[in-house]
Chain A
Amino acid sequence: MPVAVRDISVAFGERRVLTGFTAEFVEGSMTALRAPSGFGKSTLLAVIAGHQKPDAGTVAFTAADGTEHAPQISWIDQASPVFPHRTAAHNVAIGALSRGSTWEEALLIAAGHLERLGLEEVRDRLGKRLSGGERQRVAVARSMAAETPIILADEPTASLDAAARGLVIGALRAAADAGAIVIIATHDDIVAERADHIIRMDRLVPA
């Protein structure tokens, strides 16, 4: 189910952030939206997620049989909230639960993602006691466990150290390889290196 973004324009008052932006994102691909701050990366992700209504243009989710419908979307950003009174493992398991697993299955699925994101040591720590970086990785693991067909990540590596950054990028890459559409807003070179496509938001020529 590709995501087709056509002629998106967003302006905040006088400030035109996106002007006739068009792109298509296909399954099994990881796309990096690259640009310094202020070029509308977050705004574009918000439009795709449906959090932000564009002034013009459309976002279409078209299934193989031609029908359009809103799919499940995971959103990852630095402020990704976790359930503060649940353990890291439970937080991730809730992601698996959200795609129809039973709790027992969900705990098994969670264990795998916790390991992949280097979170085994904090698996039984409550969400409110996790550090910022741990919390962000828990949010990523939870999105991985949810196996949503579309993953939107806004600067997912910005506040992480090198090791954690590698784990997060690896997880997003794995999700894309498993068939998800992964779109990452970033100015991180390492993220861009692992992406299949790079869109330079700062070099778009206004239509």
Chain B
Amino acid sequence: MSRGFHTGEFVREHARGLRARPWRALLIALCAALIGAAVPLVSLIETGGLRESWEQQRAAGRFVQVIRAGTIEGFPVTFCENIARTEGVIAAGAILHREQIQLATFPGQNRELLRVSPGMIAIAWPGLAIPGSGIVAGKDLATQTGLVPDTTVNLTRAGTSETRDIVSIAGERSRVDGLNTALLEPDVRADQYTRECYVEMQPGAAGAVIPTLTEAVPPTFKATPAPYLKKSALVMDPEKQLPQRASAWGWALGAGILFLLLGVLWWSGRAEMALYRAFGARPVQITLALAAEVIATVLVPVAIGASAVIAVAGFTGSIGTQEYLLAGADIARLLLALLPLPLLGAALAHAISPSAVFKGA
């Protein structure tokens, strides 16, 4: 008859020992499942909150950047409109010309008519769709004068009278100052020049886009990018907020709790471990048995808890690809951090002397 435990039998024996006190294993599994669920959940809630705040900031124009030409003549408007095709840019546009006009219905009162590049409409009012090349009226101007869409308006510019189509009324206040009481007329002519180009970037893209834009500006224009809203400097790089968010450390906290929990439980069971050692169980066998315990009572419950949260979040449609990736990365970090748990058991197995259980020791 061979001497010593068969390793497989010893691992099964350890499992019987766990089943003999099921509440212990269930407690660990429950904690592990809760931690497995909490790590992605907290991460999803926080990243979701961040995204929502970026979206609000974006709507408020926080990610609008102004590129100012350093020369009197400015740069061609086509340069500005082309920026809209850059990766990470939502819209780009410029104000080309300002003039005073009078509406026939309100003679004697000066109004401002701005000729703008087509992209400027999206900078001023995100989401406002304008068909063709008609005039867009600012919200306040429309209220004051009773203008409605799809009508014509008689206006006097430089002493001559014209009839123009009103195609849209801005429902929202403009993100660019001074446009709420103005009429905007898209101008598609390519030979125009502008000294300021408004660029709206996707939240998080600013860090990558601004250097590209600066490089793309021909040196003769001497352009300098600056945030359109002063406060926007604070939020220009939301991507940095993601790794710095508090929930990015959830995995470490969760792993720490599980290490502590198993450390305490294993330490409280050291007398039994010493008894197995006295009957010839080798530290490597104890380590393997504890590794199996970790898989069954920690890793699997963590994975179940985490998948449950991801599945429910996916089912309710409340998360985007990036949230999935971040939550997935947090779960992976948590599982990786838990892999050395059996080493804690190994350290314990080595620290315990088999003779520790005997009075004669």
Contact = CB atoms under 8 A, between A and B. Distances in A.
Interface of A: 42, 45-46, 49-52, 72, 75, 77-81, 83-86, 90, 94-95, 97-103, 142, 146-147, 154
Contact of A51 (B9, B13, B361): B361
B121 to A, nearest CB: 75
A85 B355 contact: no
B315 interface: no
A78 B358 CA distance: 10
A105 to B, nearest CB: 10
B319 interface: no
Contacts of A81: 271, 275, 357
Contacts of B2: 99-100
A99 B4 contact: yes
A49 B361 CA distance: 9
Contact of A72 (B3, B12, B355, B358): B3
Contact of B20 (A72, A86, A95, A97): A86
Given A49-B355, A77-B359, A83-B272, A100 B1 contact: yes
Contacts of B281: 98
B210 to A, nearest CB: 65
Contacts of A102: 6, 9
B278 interface: yes
Interface string B1-24: 111111001101100110011000
B280 interface: yes
Contact of A98 (B5, B17, B360): B5
Nearest to A50: B355
B106 interface: no
Interface in B14-38: 16-17, 20-21
A103 B358 contact: no
B267 interface: no
A100 B13 CA distance: 12
B360 A85 contact: no
A100 B6 contact: yes
Kindly name the residue among B6, B13, B20, B358 whose own CB sees the greatest number of chain A CB atoms within 10 A.
B358
Given A94-B13, A146-B279, A100 B4 contact: yes
Kindly name the residue among B12, B271, B360, B361 whose own CB sees the greatest number of chain A CB atoms within 10 A.
B360
Contacts of A80: 358
Contacts of A77: 358-360
A83 B281 CA distance: 15
B359 A103 contact: no
Nearest to A106: B9
A85 B21 contact: yes
Given A77-B360, A100-B1, A103-B13, 9 more contacts: A46-B361, A49-B355, A51-B358, A51-B361, A52-B360, A79-B358, A83-B17, A83-B275, A99-B2
A86 to B, nearest CB: 6
Contacts of A83: 17, 272, 275
Given A72-B280, A83-B272, A83-B275, A103 B9 contact: yes
A27 B359 CA distance: 26
A85 B16 CA distance: 10
A74 to B, nearest CB: 8
Contacts of A154: 359-360
A103 B360 contact: no
A126 to B, nearest CB: 8
B3 A51 contact: no
A45 B4 contact: no
Contacts of A142: 279
A52 B3 CA distance: 24
Interface in B312-361: 355, 357-361
B3 A75 contact: no
Given A85-B17, A90-B16, A45 B360 contact: yes
B355 A51 contact: yes
Nearest to B12: A103
Contact of B1 (A42, A50, A86, A99): A99
A86 B358 CA distance: 19
B32 to A, nearest CB: 22
Contacts of B16: 86, 90, 103
B63 to A, nearest CB: 62
A95 B326 CA distance: 50
B279 A95 contact: yes
Contacts of B21: 85
A77 B355 CA distance: 12
Given A81-B271, A100-B4, A94 B279 contact: yes
B261 to A, nearest CB: 19
A98 B13 CA distance: 10
Contacts of B271: 81
Kindly name the residue among A52, A98, A142 whose own CB sees the greatest number of chain B CB atoms within 10 A.
A98
A102 B6 CA distance: 8
